[in-house]
A and B are shown apart, each in its own frame.
Chain A
């Protein structure tokens, strides 16, 4: 009961009714790829069926560039090129309802156009400048990174798996690294908010930095992946550089490019 009392309103107290302080960070950025709330809902259901607790009540920011086209900022400033965003016909409200129905908590929109900004305000959503991982590129363009979107630090104890990750299995290391003492087989999937270490062949999928940690890496003793991803940037099997196929390798982000390197 103790800590609860701190939140009880006390009209006679001298304490102000609210205080500013502290920062709560980290939203998963959900990129909407189709201007169709029903399709978004179905895709979400499929994702949730595979990884039920990955997104449970997760606060998310929406990236609408996939359906509205890029806003001027994401094209790059100072090069004189400004692309006016032409929002698709779909209403933000319908998209938000589809996401809520799927268990997500939309709280913000990344880089909204003026029209989307107005819609967001009406729905009680924040507008963020510098969407998702672009937040960190802000410093390169002389702009401070948006504090709101700093990545989760993977502080917890690593999730260690002593068994192979087999086809159809999905493992999620929430807020931490995943260590797999064995193979990740075709159709198997390891997701971690931090790094992924595989002491065996990676034949399935490995998604590190699942909540946006740009520093996350994937390490494996033999790269035969179906897909590797860091903070949402991914390479599929046929995109893996030939010299590293079947070899020990690590995968990391260099800017917005996924790089495969020696272990």
Chain B
């Protein structure tokens, strides 16, 4: 079987579906956290894959396909927000996260819930930078490229996001 990226570039939608199945989970997770609205996140995922299909002939494999796709998702999400000035759904922040002993909290599903809810409460730009840097592992230079903000702004937003999260999780 030949490489699905190559076959998709040549216009084979079955091959593109293989790529969709492989990557949709990560794209959806990002869109869900950025948009904070499940129906809106589904639209953004669809837009991302349609745009990727259009741009695929220009994909030369300089970056991993996943990273390339991710960049499109970020662009689609941020461009859409700029264009429509779409207001985000309001999500209340957690009122009383558990005051667990700080040093000994191990990763567990309950802590994941608290973290998701705290991330949802961040301002949009701080949230985007935090997700890209601390959850997805991109560097500031890459984030600047993906989002169109300056590298210094990315650092400043990360600084802000981490401190807001610390407060939210330790109230």
Bound pair: A and B? no
The interface of chain A, by Cβ under 8 A from chain B, is: none
